Structure 1
Amino acid sequence: MIVTANSKAAGTFSSVKNIPFTFTPEVVPRKNVIIGTFDPLKTDIVADVPIQVFSPEDVGAKCGFGFMIHRLAEQCFKGSGAGIETWIVPQDENGTAVAAAGSIDFTGSTASNETLYLYISGILDRPIAISLANAADDAEICSRTVDAINAIKELPVTAAINGVTPEICDITAKSKDVWGNGITIAFSRRPGEETPASITAVITAMTGGSGGYDITTALDALGTGDNANEKFFTEFIHGYGSLAFDDILTYVGPGDQKIGLYAETVHKPFQSLYGDVGAGSAGLTAVLAAAELRRETDRANGYIAVAGSLSHPSEIAALTMGHRSRVANSRPEQNYVDIILTGIDPGDEADRWTNDYANRDTAVKGGVSPTVVRNNTVYLQNVVSFYRPESVPINSNAYASFRNLAIMQNILDTQYKAFNTPKWKNFTIVQDATLVGNTDAKEKVRDIDAVVDEWLNLIQGWYNLAWIYETARAFEVIGTPGAVTIRGGTDGFDANSEVILSGEGNILNNETNIDTSIAILG
């Protein structure tokens, strides 16, 4: 080097030097993907092709407002905000699919100027306010209801006056298939709202939706083989309910195996949820039984339960996953306790098995994510997957918690990136890199110590981000002879590290002993 710290003569200097920079782990940017059917009249949409979208309005304009994929997007964006990259994979409806239908049969008339508050699919942040003049009869009430429903394009249904009985409002799901069977119809769901005593509204629940879905074509559109989930979607949102569990699990990879999205050549797993609205003790029993069937292998799916809710189960899940992407985008080590599910119907008090801690504890241990309701507002608690094999102790089950799974997504990604830098391309393996004398050769020689050093840096980076619990043992393990070895053909290295994930702060158990006697004071 000509110029040193002690140089004095004037001059302008320029040089370059090829130095392998140290890799610093960074948080994986979250990326949502939404799968669902769209308006068949949107003929410019090509099914099963991923499209990046930027808002619910963008999805509605492309795919039809109120159709399945738009409803999911509205909830997802509500949770994630505008800062999370989001894509959709629109799917055609089954050619033989049938739309669900229901109705409202009005009798009576108004005794004064009144307002009815109607809710479709438990969407509390889109109330349907039906203004009625004094002495409006049942046919007028029906007509006003039809107009009010159809005026809100974001709703998942259309309405029409019955062709035979003008006081009956016929309601039809925009999206066909079983999706529509989960759409509810209800009046006065928020505090202070009442249906006038002079009006009776008999609701026929939405039913009759049928058909069938094939989510595999959408999954394949994300990539197959070593290119599976090529864009690295971290949150997977869909409208197909438990019917899609098996296909999603097959794509992600069942059990604690290096297959699917957990394969060494892929390392890009995502997770997914479906809502459960089963009411009362029977609802808890049913959802636990469903989760039990999947406990041995399913680290990809889970249930999020809002007991007795009138919101669509898939929309509850979409909102939850949107929140998860937002939180994990900056702090994957954070859990989701007490995040508010804005606009989700809380269900009736009597239906909430989630009110009891013992029930929530049973649910979490059984692979079901409970919620709590305070002041008619729904809050997240533990968010968990189904995965609970008998062979894995409960305190060692890393796949059980969605928070842990977010950390694992980041560990897999940063582990790959650390060894995919120019430093680890086109290298030469030697026994001891310090003994290589040629300057040019030294730039690209690597030995076991170089691998260990990279791992030490990686482990420290994970700890700095609070993804792992400690470093001392992790450093010791990776530095133990045999943890890093040269492959038999001298064509690479095998490394095996061990880390303990950082703890998920869920429980604070405090107790104060109380006495009224002062005898202890002497």
Structure 2
Amino acid sequence: MAISFNQIPENLRVPLVYIEFDNSRAVKGTPAIEYKMLVLGQMLATGSAAEATPVRVLSADHAVGLFGRGSMLTAMFKGIKEADRFMETWCIPLKDDAAGVAATGTIDFTGAATGTGVLNCYIAGRKVRASVPALATSAEAATALADAINADLDLPVTATVATGTVTLTARNKGECGNDIDIRFNYYTGEVYPAGLTVSVTAMTNGAANPDIADAIAGFGDEWWNGIVSPWTDGSNMVALEAELLDRWGPTNMKDGIAYTAIRGTHSESATWGDARNGHLGTTMPTGASPTPPWIWAAVYGVVASGSLSIDPARPLQTLVLPGIMPPTQGERWTMEERNLLLYDGLSTFTVDSGGLVRIERAITTYQKNAYGLPDPSYLDVTTPATLSYIRYATRARITQKFPRHKLADDGTRFGPGQAIVTPSIIRAELLALFRELETKGLVENFDQYKKELIVERDADDRNRVNVLSPPDLINQLRILAEQIQYIL
């Protein structure tokens, strides 16, 4: 019998017709990846979610019940769902570390209001307004603001007041609380009530982030294409990078890109970036943005993942990060400063004339090879994203077309219809797949690929085929340089 049947036995004598189905040739074209984004972060005791256990988050309101109102995770998912409602998002929540310390900051009032006014306070980018009547003392103004803060349960802080001083305490413990921005009068036209003087002491003394290892243990065998983490301390970054490398490997192949964000000065950001060197992570320095870095990371992650899921090779430049408040005009980094950050393994953003934050260039933190020399091979996030898709498409093609095939040498005279594959058949399939990837705009230079592609049967293991595949990845238009030699 020449045809390789899957279910119809050879020893049938009972009449008459027996027909089976084989779907190995049913699927045409390249496959789509069902993107899943995983968000890590801290919940509050008021949340109903099980700690360190993956949970699917359907909406911002759903996140409130799962993680607690005013929690870090609730704010992250609010930003995510406003930016992209269609991305499938999951979360592994962690509670505050038992040894954690909550960050605190203060707002001090002096003087007395000489007229009616309004306090325009921004905490973690969220506006709090408090009316101040004429002749109000500093203590009364402080009390009014503290009451307004405590009335907003979505804020990441609570407030206490004593003799003209408002003390803010982060709801979640840990280092992240130190990045909660406190400021007044962000927008043009906002002013303090006349007669009042306000001074802000930044949030400090937050300590002990949760251990990301507890979250990694919950990753399981699921494929998370994008992973958002709010924790950028050294130990948690090392643990996350190690997990990503393991998932990137050839025996796991459940690779993903991690998205983080850091707050700090240009110098602090550069120092942080120089200490990292991973091709599966991308970090956006936020500068003096009022929006907390964990919300930056969440929005950056979902916007980038959404675009990469559509086309992994298309550059992310100009994509808007919805809901992100940029640094004020005088606090924004210059082009020269941003260019330096791009050599420190950090992504950059710009702010358009309407105040929208846009991705300028999204790069990985990978900067140097094993010998400590500059290596741009994984510079842009589109490179690992494109490689990931090519690998997935190759796996899908081979497993779909040759799921239970026998292996023979080229030239073997087997009958038509036999479930047999040879190196030349696999080679032809890979060339056909390359053409499809070329049509999708992911690779180029077919002739070079055809010439250098090696498909051979293993000399020691006759059940194995070895392939050396040299795809030329498509590039991105990032720089156009022109010299105009004009004539008068």
Does residue 1:369 correspond to 2:356, yes or no? no
- Residue from 385, 388, 409 that aligns with 1:431: 409
Equivalent residue in structure 1 for 2:270, among 288, 292, 316: 288
* 1:313 equivalent in alignment to 2:317: no
Name segments (4+ residues, structure 1) moved above 4 Å.
13-17, 390-396
| Structure 2 counterpart of 1:120, one-letter code | I
Please report how far the alpha carbon of residue 52 of structure 1 lies from its aligned counterpart in structure 2 after TM superposition: 0.5
1:304 alignment partner, SS class: strand
Deviations 1:388-426 (A, max 9, x none): 2246999973422112222122122212222222x3222
Retained in 1: the 8 A contact 2:230–2:261? no
Matches within 5 A, 1:376-415: 376-390=355-369, 397-415=376-394
1:336 aligned partner: 316
Structure 1 pair 435–240 and aligned structure 2 pair: CA distance change class (3 A): same
Equivalent pair of 1:108/1:137 in contact (CA under 8 Å):
yes
Change (3 A) 1:208 1:392: closer
Aligned pair partner of 2:251 in 265, 274, 286: 265
Question: 1:434: how far off?
Answer: 7.1
Q: What is the number of residues matched between the two proteins?
A: 469
Report whether the alignment pairs 1:179 with 2:176: yes
Give 2:396's aligned residue: 417
* Aligned counterpart for 1:235 among listed residues 219, 226, 233: 226
Of stretches 23-32 and 82-91 in structure 1, the one that deviates more from structure 2 is 23-32
Q: Does the 8 Å contact 2:406/2:421 carry over to 1?
A: yes
Q: Does 1:120 align with 2:96?
A: no
3-state DSSP of counterpart to 2:364:
coil
> Structure 2: any 5+ residue segments left out of the alignment?
1-16
> 2:161: which partner in 1?
161
- 2:7 paired residue number: none
Partner of 1:520 in structure 2? none
User: Which residue identity is paired with 1:484?
Assistant: E
In the alignment, is the contact (CA less than 8 A) between 2:280 and 2:384 conserved in 1?
no
- The 8 Å contact of residues 235 and 321 in structure 1, kept in 2 or not, is answered as yes
Q: Is the 8 A contact 1:271 1:300 kept in 2?
A: yes
Residues of 2 paired with 1:214 and 1:307: CA distance?
26
Once residues 343 and 181 of structure 1 are traced to their aligned partners in structure 2, the CA distance between those partners, rounded to angstroms, is 21
- Rounded Cα–Cα distance in structure 2 between residues aligned with 1:289 and 1:202: 29
C-alpha separation in 1, matches of 2:304 and 2:138: 45
Q: Give 2:75's aligned residue.
A: 71
Structure 1: runs of 5 or more not aligned: 1-12, 224-229, 254-259, 518-522
Q: What is the Cα deviation at residue 84 of structure 1?
A: 0.4
Q: Does 1:484 align with 2:484?
A: no
Letter in 2 for 1:20: S
What is the identity, as a one-letter code, of the residue corresponding to 1:188? N
Q: Distance in 2 between matches of 1:388 and 1:205?
A: 33
Residue equivalent to 1:3: none
Aligned CA RMSD, in angstroms, stands at 2.6
Q: What is the alpha-carbon distance in structure 2 between the residues aligned to residue 27 and residue 99 of structure 1?
A: 44
Residues 249 and 299 in structure 1, CA contact (< 8 A), matched pair in contact too: no
Residue matched to 1:227: none
- Residue type matched to 2:216 in 1? L
Equivalent of 1:502 in 447, 454, 474: 474
Contact 2:95–2:210 (CA<8 Å) still a contact in 1? no
- Superposition TM-score, scaled by structure 2 size: 0.89
Identity across the alignment (%): 21
Asked if 1:35 is matched to 2:40, the reply is: yes
Q: Quick one: distance in 2 between partners of 1:405 and 1:292?
A: 20
Residue 36 of structure 1 aligns to a residue whose secondary structure is strand
SS of aligned partner of 2:443: coil
- Shift of residue 38 of structure 1? 0.9
* AA partner of residue 306 (structure 1): T
Structural mapping, 1:215-254, within 5 Å? 215-223=212-220, 230-243=221-234, 244-253=236-245
Instruction: Output the TM-score relative to the length of structure 1.
Output: 0.83
Contact in 1 for aligned 2:158/2:171 (Cα 8 Å): yes
User: Residues 161, 433 of structure 1: CA spacing in aligned structure 2 closer, same or farther, 3 A cutoff?
Assistant: farther
| Counterpart amino acid of residue 398 in structure 2 | F
Cα distance in 1 for residues equivalent to 2:439 and 2:149: 52
SS where residue 435 of structure 1 aligns?
A: coil
Q: Is the 8 A contact 1:27 1:332 kept in 2?
A: no
Counterpart of 1:131 in structure 2 is: 131
Report if the CA contact (8 A) 1:72-1:238 is conserved.
no
**Once the two structures are superposed, what CA deviation does each residue of 1:128-160 show, in whole Å capped at 9, x if it has no partner?**
222333443333322321232233322211123
SS in 2 for 1:39: coil
Q: Which amino acid aligns with 1:406?
A: A
Match of 1:5 in 2: none
Measured after TM superposition, the shift of residue 494 of structure 1 is 1.3
